[in-house]
Chains A and B, each alone.
Chain A
Amino acid sequence: MTAFFWALAIFLLLNAFLCLWRAWAGPSVGDRLLAMNVIGTKTLVVLVILGVVAGGGLFLDVALIYGLLNFVITVAAGRFLETGRLSQEEGRWGGAP
């Protein structure tokens, strides 16, 4: 099963590198953001597989934090792309612009 996990991790990394092409050549910023989100999620999976193969429980915590950071980065970058700012002061969500 260890060889199977290694092969799966290597193929996942190859596919993630293919996704990196969309992040490099994407016509819009949203495409790049989307590709980076997919790559981050697959990095989480590869980290968990490495934790299984290497037998360390530390990898799971790292993977959980990685997923959390990936989510926060994606939402923040999407918000920055949408509104052009990151703070909520004089924003469009409440008071007058």
Chain B
Amino acid sequence: MLNAVVIFLMVSGFMLFFATTVGLLRFPDFYTRVHAAGKGDTLSTALLLAGLIIYYLQDFSGEALLTAVKLSLIVFFVFLASPTATHAIIDAGYEAKVPYWTKRKPSADGEPYPGPERRREDRQI
């Protein structure tokens, strides 16, 4: 019975990671790729590791409990670290003026699409 829960959790985590891969390969520009990767990566890792935690806790013992606690610490760390890393990447790309995708035609003079004009000093936070 619990094996079904484990398989459901892990397969849904794998589907989320597959969606992350498709978004990473198919989205048109940097910011949309960050959108796909930042969310799907975190949640798919959490779902896969949650399935493993339940699988470990099936036969309850001290060692299994220790392993489950360790896995929970990994999940907690990933939930803290992965959005922070994503935020660092997208801030670096914004500051490096990575051009964004628009549906407008490319302008005639050189630059295909204008990058974001504002920088950190001009932002209203």
Contact = CB atoms under 8 A, between A and B. Distances in A.
Interface string B58-91: 0000010001001101100110011011101111
Contact of B45 (A22, A33, A45, A79): A45
Contacts, number: 130
Interface in A16-74: 18-19, 21-22, 27-31, 33-35, 37-38, 41-42, 44-45, 48-49, 52, 57, 60-61, 63-64, 67-68, 70-71, 74
A75 interface: yes
Contact of B24 (A12, A33, A38, A57): A38
A18 B25 contact: yes
B35 to A, nearest CB: 10
Interface in B1-42: 3, 6-7, 10-11, 14, 17-18, 20-21, 24-25, 30, 33-34, 37, 41
B7 A12 contact: no
Contact of B21 (A19, A29, A52, A64): A19
A19 B92 contact: no
B116 to A, nearest CB: 13
Given A15-B18, A30-B30, A44-B74, 11 more contacts: A18-B25, A21-B25, A28-B96, A41-B78, A41-B82, A52-B55, A52-B56, A60-B67, A61-B70, A67-B81, A75-B84
Interface of A: 1, 4, 8, 11-12, 15, 18-19, 21-22, 27-31, 33-35, 37-38, 41-42, 44-45, 48-49, 52, 57, 60-61, 63-64, 67-68, 70-71, 74-75, 78-79, 81-83
27 contacts: A1-B55, A4-B7, A15-B17, A15-B18, A15-B21, A18-B21, A22-B33, A27-B30, A28-B98, A29-B96, A30-B98, A34-B30, A34-B34, A37-B37, A44-B74, A48-B74, A57-B70, A60-B74, A63-B74, A64-B77, A68-B81, A71-B82, A74-B88, A78-B85, A78-B91, A79-B88, A81-B93
